[in-house]
Amino acid sequence: MSKAIGVFDSGVGGLTVVKELINQLPQEDIVYFGDIARVPYGIKSRETIIRFSIENMLFLLKQEVKLICVACNTVSSVALPIIQKYFRVPIVGVLSPGAREAVYASQNKKIGVIGTRGTIKSRAYDLEIKQLDPKVKVKAVACPLFVPLAEEGWTQGDVPLKIARTYLAPLKEAGVDTVILGCTHYPLLKPVIKEVMGKNVLLIDSAKQVAIEVKKILAQEGMLNAGARGTQRFYVSDNPEWFGQLAKAFLGREVKNVEKVTL
């Protein structure tokens, strides 16, 4: 039996990455773990995020996955280098693919990054971008209220618009021509972010690039699945019904086969 791709996130947001993986790798089986019991990670300390990430990795490895995709931007920013040191399985984070695309796309070499407090405080995006092109200027801001807005489905209208205007003002002032949506939830707020930033500013949603990277690694390692359409299994550490309902916004469909597990 061929092995599945493992994906984990602090909660439901990583389903935006699963959606792209299904699009680009329809033959692959996917095992998803959402740490609903301990979400949000974006406000937790580095030590805690590393500990949670190791536990999530161990759970997915027990499911015998062949590659693990860290769909959470906060984990990718704060813990990825550490977990990559401890595990031999290929691990793909969401940070490098998004940073690469932004550096490639930016014309004026001014890039904005938005994410959770943890992601922004880590400065991981800044460092990654500077390594790719030291001339790029990065303006990074945390937008913590975007996560609950996306989960509430409150992605249109005056309230999100006002919040987005306030958060994004420094990016507009800095004159960025490209913005990395550095959080699993932010693709849901794309229309509002676009309205504030203007149509000439490019929004980078790294999920697509992540799926391309996963495909590349599986091809290189000779681990691509051939044959029938893949299946998806969903595990959470709490509240499977809530996860199943929210899946509609993040994955495009509700999911019923969600199992609660204790790590």
Sequence-separated (6 or more) residues with CB below 8 Å from residue 118: 41, 42, 43, 44, 46, 49, 74, 77, 78
Beta bridge partners of 8: 33, 70
| Binding of residue 42 to ligand DGL (CB under 6 A) | yes
Q: What is the spatial distance between Cα 188 and Cα 16, in angstroms, rounded to a whole number?
A: 9
Rank residues 118 and 177 by Cβ distance to ligand DGL and give the closer one: 118
Site for ligand DGL in 103-132 (CB under 6 A): 115-116, 119
Which of the stretches 5-13, 83-91, 210-218, 248-256 binds ligand DGL when contact is defined by CB under 6 A? 5-13
Among positions 34, 40, 97, 160, the unique one binding ligand DGL when judged by CB under 6 A: 40
Q: What is the spatial distance between Cα 209 and Cα 230, in angstroms, rounded to a whole number?
A: 20
Rank residues 147 and 179 by Cβ distance to ligand DGL and give the closer one: 147
Rank residues 144 and 230 by Cβ distance to ligand DGL and give the closer one: 144
Annotated active-site residue in 183, 197, 218, 249: 183
**Rounded least distance, CB 41 to ligand DGL, Å:** 4
Which residue, judged by CB position, is nearest to ligand DGL in the bound state?
Answer: 42
Q: What is the spatial distance between Cα 248 and Cα 229, in angstroms, rounded to a whole number?
A: 21
Instruction: Examine the residue annotation and report whether 72 is marked as an active-site residue of this protein.
Output: yes
Annotated active-site residue in 50, 57, 72, 203: 72
3-state secondary structure of 46: helix
| Binding of residue 184 to ligand DGL (CB under 6 A) | yes
| Binding of residue 147 to ligand DGL (CB under 6 A) | yes
Q: Where are the alpha helices (DSSP H) in the chain?
A: 15-24, 46-62, 73-78, 80-86, 95-105, 117-122, 124-132, 146-152, 158-174, 190-197, 207-220, 240-251
| Binding of residue 72 to ligand DGL (CB under 6 A) | yes
Instruction: Examine the residue annotation and report whether 69 is marked as an active-site residue of this protein.
Output: no
Q: Output the CA–CA distances (angstroms, integers) from residue 104 to 101, 132, 149, 217, 233, in the order listed.
A: 5, 9, 30, 21, 35
Active site residues: 72, 183
Contacting positions for ligand DGL (CB under 6 A): 9-11, 13, 39-42, 72-74, 115-116, 119, 147, 183-185
